[in-house]
């Protein structure tokens, strides 16, 4: 590694919406380092560190997270209020309510992360017996355990807080905190444990808010029914639930991180439909457009095999490479078929295998030249390897090179064969059609008998 930078917690103007117990480490890998070995070492450190849950991502994985994932149908119900125990109690009640709604699967209350926290709560009756005020207990324990700001120190146009707190041995253990001595009005001392309840209990690390209102969240998957129908049933059932004053529940849209790649899939389907319509416009034939459109996915076989040969999960860079191969294969297929149709028009509309073979022979050099040129252009990115800074371009280049092989074979072998089959079938259909003669029939000449 060359250097490491840390982004800890949550800054006020940060672009990361995370809890205060989260952080990021940005690692720069040296140019001459073994990328795969270094990445495995970093992963071993992250997974082997006790008490820390983390993942190792490169820039591409981080920025494209969720883009390619499938859409997840889910509903989210939030209970708004202030007191956390009441929120969790009502959230559990809503979880049981959602469990009986048809189509709802695995309803669960979104757990709030907690951490062990020292809690000191004055015992009013015990403090009265010793003549100690609850405020004195809180103040003394705060000074000794966590510190109390008593002033400020100014130096070199800077302000430094002055905090008084106990020595480290004071809060070394729960027993040492309980044995702390609190001053009494008569000049004596009393143990903290005698006037307060000192214990360790879980407290939320990050309390979730929407505006100024706290909330607890219930999530559930939807399967077997339409999402709109399930949401309608949930809305009706929420109207029958009683809440304390200033508490209520709402059905909210699923978070953006759970929407998956539905919008991406919609755009891809629309693009494919546009390609099909362009093919029909180019050939003026639905049959030929459908044959080429259905054959084009086979051009991607080489790219898909090259992607899986790397052993990694399918990434956004590899998808970009497949799109590039698809475009090249589409363009070459259109040009080849258009040339065959042009030759047919030159021959007066007569279809023959010789014309298809001639069109394929004429397009052989342009198709192979364009594929070779494209492969040579991206070859350096593939040869450099999966090094730091080349993760996206490397996977894209590998997929393009692999896809160009099958795309070239498709355009030179499969597309001419498909067009030949389609043209021969059309020719046979035209030959089998009945012929109707339009020549006028000869009418008999009338004879006239004259007397004489």
pTM: 0.54
| Contact (CB, 8 A) for 142 and 180 | no
Separation of CA 163 from chain center? 46
Is the pLDDT at 92 greater than 90? The verdict is yes
Is the pLDDT at 80 greater than 90? The verdict is yes
Q: What is the mean pLDDT of residues 43-71?
A: 73
Predicted pLDDT of residue 172: 82
The dotted CATH code for 262-429 is 1.20.1640.10
Place of tokens 């040869």: 383
Is the pLDDT at 292 greater than 50? The verdict is yes
Specify the long-range contacts of residues 128-133, CB closer than 8 Å, at least 24 apart: 130/184, 130/190, 130/194, 130/195, 131/184, 131/185, 131/186, 132/182, 132/184, 132/185, 132/190, 132/195
Question: Architecture of 115-204 per CATH?
Answer: 2-Layer Sandwich (3.30)
In sequence order, what are the beta bridge partners of 198? Answer: 120
Q: How many CB atoms lie within 10 A of CB 324?
A: 20
Query: Mind listing the pLDDT tens digit for each residue in 296-334?
Result: 888 888 888 888 876 655 677 788 888 889 889 998 888
Is the pLDDT at 11 greater than 60? The verdict is no
How does residue 448 score in pLDDT terms, banded at 50, 70 and 90? Answer: very low
Q: What is the DSSP letter of 412?
A: I
In sequence order, what are the beta bridge partners of 428? Answer: none
Predicted pLDDT of residue 225: 85
Is the pLDDT at 12 greater than 80? The verdict is no
Predicted pLDDT of residue 197: 92
Closest CA to 315 of 204, 399, 230: 399
The dotted CATH code for 74-113+207-258 is 3.30.70.1320
Query: Mind listing the pLDDT tens digit for each residue in 126-170?
Result: 989 888 998 888 888 888 888 888 899 898 888 998 998 888 888
- Report the mean per-residue pLDDT for the chain: 81
């Amino acid at each position: 590694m060359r250097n490491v930078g840390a982004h800890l917690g949550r800054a006020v103007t940060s672009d990361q919406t995370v809890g205060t117990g989260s952080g990021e480490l940005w690692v720069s890998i040296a140019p001459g380092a073994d990328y795969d070995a270094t990445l495995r070492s970093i992963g071993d450190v992250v997974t082997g560190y006790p008490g820390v849950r983390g993942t190792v991502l490169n820039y591409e994985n981080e920025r494209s997270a969720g883009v390619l994932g499938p859409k997840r149908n889910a509903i989210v119900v939030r209970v708004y209020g202030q007191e956390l125990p009441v929120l969790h109690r009502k959230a559990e009640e809503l979880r049981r309510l959602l469990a009986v709604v048809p189509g709802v699967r695995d309803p669960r209350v979104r757990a709030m992360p907690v951490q062990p926290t020292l809690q000191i709560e004055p015992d009013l009756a015990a403090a009265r017996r010793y003549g100690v005020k609850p405020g004195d207990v809180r103040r003394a324990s705060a000074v000794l355990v966590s510190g109390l700001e008593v002033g400020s120190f100014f130096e070199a146009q800077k302000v430094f807080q002055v905090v008084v707190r106990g020595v480290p041995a004071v809060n070394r253990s729960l027993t040492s905190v309980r044995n702390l001595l609190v001053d009494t009005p008569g000049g004596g001392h009393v143990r903290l444990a005698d006037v307060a309840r000192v214990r360790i209990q879980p407290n939320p690390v990050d309390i979730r808010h929407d505006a100024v209102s706290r909330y607890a969240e219930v999530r559930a998957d939807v399967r077997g029914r339409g999402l709109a129908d399930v949401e309608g049933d949930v809305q009706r059932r929420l109207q029958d639930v009683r809440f304390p004053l200033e508490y209520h529940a709402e059905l909210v849209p699923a978070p953006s991180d759970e929407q998956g790649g539905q919008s991406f899939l919609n755009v891809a389907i629309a693009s494919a439909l546009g390609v099909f319509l362009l093919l029909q416009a180019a050939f003026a034939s639905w049959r030929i457009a459908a044959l080429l459109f259905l054959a084009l996915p086979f051009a991607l076989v080489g790219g898909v095999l090259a992607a899986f040969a790397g052993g990694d999960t399918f990434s956004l860079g590899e998808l970009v490479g497949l799109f590039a191969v698809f475009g090249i294969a589409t363009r070459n297929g259109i040009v080849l078929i258009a040339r065959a149709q042009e030759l047919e028009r030159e021959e007066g509309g007569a279809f023959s295998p010789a014309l298809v073979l001639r069109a394929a022979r004429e397009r052989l050099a342009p198709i192979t030249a364009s594929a070779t040129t494209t492969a040579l252009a991206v070859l350096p990115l593939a040869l450099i390897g999966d090094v730091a800074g080349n993760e996206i371009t490397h996977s894209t280049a590998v997929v393009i090179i692999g896809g160009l092989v099958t795309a070239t074979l498709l355009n030179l072998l499969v597309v001419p064969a498909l067009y030949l089959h389609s043209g021969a079938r059309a020719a046979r259909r035209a030959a089998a059609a009945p012929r109707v003669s339009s020549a006028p029939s000869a009418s008999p000449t009338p004879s006239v008998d004259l007397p004489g």
